[in-house]
Amino acid sequence: MISREVALNFIKKELHIKDVEEGLKFRKIQLLNQIMRAVQSEIPYNNIWMLNNPHMPTKEEVIEGCLKRKGGLCVHFNFFTMNLLKAIGYDVYLAAANYGTSPYPEAHMICIVRGIGESHHKYLVDVGSGYPMFETVPIHDLPKTFHQTALKIKYTQSETPGRFTRWHRKRDSVVVKDEFQNITEGEWCQIFDFSDKEVDYSHFEIYTKPVFAEYHPQNRLLQNCYITRYPGHKNAAICIIGRKLLITDKHGFLSIRILKLEEMIPVAKKYFPEIALNDVKAAVEKVEDYLMKDKTNSVRGLVRLGAEYVFQSLKATFKR
């Protein structure tokens, strides 16, 4: 869906990565990591498209939007990244993951790259979880522990062959205690588990479609506005979560600012210029209108609870 010429041009000009051809010949893993880092820096993870377009995106919508760096959710990020990598010669495919706190099974899209080094070697590439992950994960050689921003992450082989688990250190994340709760082991809480089995985009048209189109108390992606990017510095992050603006600098220092409604648009314009302001405005108005029309305040409470969960989780992620 993306030509080699378009892919190389995007990587060089939009992701600002040089010597791509040399990387493909001599350092394919390092180039993968560079691409993962740059995608999460230059393309904003957000639910603005989702709020304004309550349907599962088509392949064409995903590619078109990401080439313009509008971003989106896991479907946008990982399907686009898969096609980008495939266009420049990587052997890569889609796989599915289960988020422990999601009511929708097999709904998180991930990528698996295979055949680098040895034919049986496989590497997880996931740039669309909303959490920072700037390195490939060799799922043929687990367990592995990573430090991303201030977040400590561990990947393990599950007892079931062909399944793997992502864990966060508990003090770095909010542990959910409800119907869809995190599994915990010692200092770790499970974020999601996944299979290395190849699936087609049509799998997500079935399993991920409800995430885009249905309201559910645990579907936090429909409960408020979320926009996030991880600029090039090791610890840096910029996030809008509901009415809160979180910024960490390259030293990991976290600042939090409560935004007035009229500040949402100019702040989005400053930090996320790739997203059309009319789209941000429409999404903000949709959430505000939804809250104002709720007569019982039950939905309002759920919406704010969802936003607070994401805020506290990211706050925990970026604290030093």
Note the pLDDT of residue 215.
Answer: 59
Note the pLDDT of residue 235.
Answer: 75
Classify residue 298 as exposed, middle or buried by CB count within 10 Å of its CB (0-12, 13-18, 19+): exposed
Note the pLDDT of residue 307.
Answer: 43
pLDDT at 298 over 50: no
pLDDT-based confidence at 296, cuts 50/70/90?
A: very low
By the 8 A CB rule, do 72 and 211 touch? Answer: no
H/E element, 300: helix 298-318
Give the residue with greater pLDDT, 274 vs 289.
274
Residues 30-87 pLDDT 10s: 999 999 999 999 999 999 988 898 889 999 999 999 999 999 999 999 999 999 999 9
In the numeric block, the tokens 């991880």 are attached to: 230
Average the pLDDT over 112-133 and give the result: 94
In the numeric block, the tokens 């921003």 are attached to: 149
pLDDT at 207 over 80: yes
Give this prediction's pTM.
0.88
**Residue 110 has which token pair?**
């991930």
By the 8 A CB rule, do 98 and 74 touch? Answer: no
